[in-house]
Amino acid sequence: MAAPAIPPIRLGLIGTGLAVEKLHWPALRGLADRYVVTAFTDASAEQCGRFAGYSGVDPAKAAADRAALLAREDVDAVLISVPIPHLYEVACDALAAGKDVLCEKPAGVDAEQAADFLALAAGHPDRTFMVGENYFYRDDLRYARALLDDGAIGRPHLMAWRYAVRSVPRAGGFTGTPWRQRPQYRGGVHLDFGVHHIAQIRLLCGDIARVHGAVQAANSTVDAPSDLALNLVFAGGAIGNYTASFPEIPVPSEPNDMRLYGTEGVLVLAGSEPECRVTRSGSDATTHTTVFRGSDNGYRAELVDFADAVQFGARPVGSVAQSVANAMVVQRAFDSAERAAVLALDPVPGAGPVPLWRPRGSAGLFDGLPGQRISSTASFAA
């Protein structure tokens, strides 16, 4: 006799702006067996109408405000996608209302609020509380992590990553939002966007023990430092450098790739969402490249992990503690820049090394997930 089907999670959306339109809704649309949107709300009535228009969700499901949405009995869980300064207060209200919570990152506007996020999660052990970090779920990054776990390049000893891209306000884009141009959170773009890079670094290289950072302000369109140069010492003994620049002037095309050097090979992660590449080279001067297309940057897998936590009690990878661990690297980097000193990073309770996510009940990395993966081999011998 077949097991009864588990009903989908009745999801409320608090905030229906760009993050929902461009990132979350495309993934939710393909997970109708796991989620049904039963309510939504936004501070902007125009934005609510826009969401109903492109999603096809009944406009009658719009709630007047978040209090009205949280009072509804047909909402099991909420996806919080509001500006960074308001994430904590909305998460507090949602958990107090007895809802499971998937909250946009980062966990806190500064180190003090990061600690508040940890306390909030600890105070609601009966609820699933995740802070979104889609980089933990990206196919290319999980594949690279599996290679590292298998010893594909031996012992990693050096990480090098330079990322530079022009950043100016663009209508209809993330950089066009006023709260990002005048951020009321410490770290600016490095806490908003750069924290994804920190998540990638921690996923692949492990926990960070010490940081030495320097910052520069070289973008007049944002009221925060645009440049960060960060030297890292990892708990496992490797060292690394991460440099991120978001200038207002056009910059020449740059590879923006991440390189991991090991005792037996090198791993290079390159490309962008439409086509990500992981290339492994060995001591025999051969390269093995896997190209990833159509994997949606990890948002579908992130939502699957949240659903598994809510419906089956699985322990999610994207925990509050892991998000705090990412954010605290940025905060300590800025502390280091202000003090002109090398600073230690205290372990975040409940975090530790980032687990490698796999689809529930599967030994494979990609079972049941969309996307195309193509592998090839070449030689760079002289």
CATH of the domain spanning 9-133, picked from 1.10.3720.10, 3.40.50.720, 3.40.109.10, 3.30.70.20: 3.40.50.720
- Separation of alpha carbons 170 and 248, rounded Å: 12
Q: What is the pLDDT of residue 1?
A: 43
- Per-residue pLDDT reduced to its tens digit, 253-276: 888 999 999 999 999 999 988 899
Buried b (16+ CB within 10 A) or exposed e, 241-250: ebebbbbeee
Q: What is the pLDDT of residue 4?
A: 63
Question: pLDDT tens track of the chain, all 382 residues?
Answer: 445 679 999 999 999 999 999 999 999 999 999 999 999 999 999 999 999 999 999 999 999 999 999 999 999 999 999 999 999 999 999 999 999 999 999 999 999 999 999 999 999 999 999 999 999 999 999 999 999 999 999 999 999 999 999 999 998 899 999 999 999 999 999 999 999 999 999 999 999 999 999 999 999 999 999 999 999 999 999 999 999 999 999 999 888 999 999 999 999 999 988 899 999 999 899 999 999 998 899 999 999 999 999 999 999 999 999 999 999 999 999 999 999 999 999 999 999 999 999 999 998 999 988 899 999 999 887 5
Q: What is the pLDDT of residue 273?
A: 84
Which of 126, 80, 124 has its CA nearest to residue 106?
A: 80
Q: What is the pLDDT of residue 295?
A: 86
Q: What is the DSSP letter of 319?
A: B
Give CA angle at 357 (353, 363), nearest 5°. Answer: 125
Helix intervals (H) in the chain: 18, 25-29, 45-55, 66-70, 87-96, 111-122, 139-149, 178-181, 189-192, 194-205, 299-312, 320-339
Domain boundaries, the chain: 9-133, 136-299+328-379
- Separation of alpha carbons 361 and 349, rounded Å: 27
Report the interhelical angle of 111-122 vs 87-96 (nearest 10°). 10
- Separation of alpha carbons 285 and 49, rounded Å: 56
- Per-residue pLDDT reduced to its tens digit, 85-94: 999 999 999 9
- Which architecture does CATH list for 136-299+328-379? 2-Layer Sandwich (3.30)
- Contact between 276 and 267 under an 8 Å Cβ cutoff? The reply is no
Which of 301, 305, 320, 310 has its CA nearest to residue 116?
A: 320
Return the SS3 of 231. strand
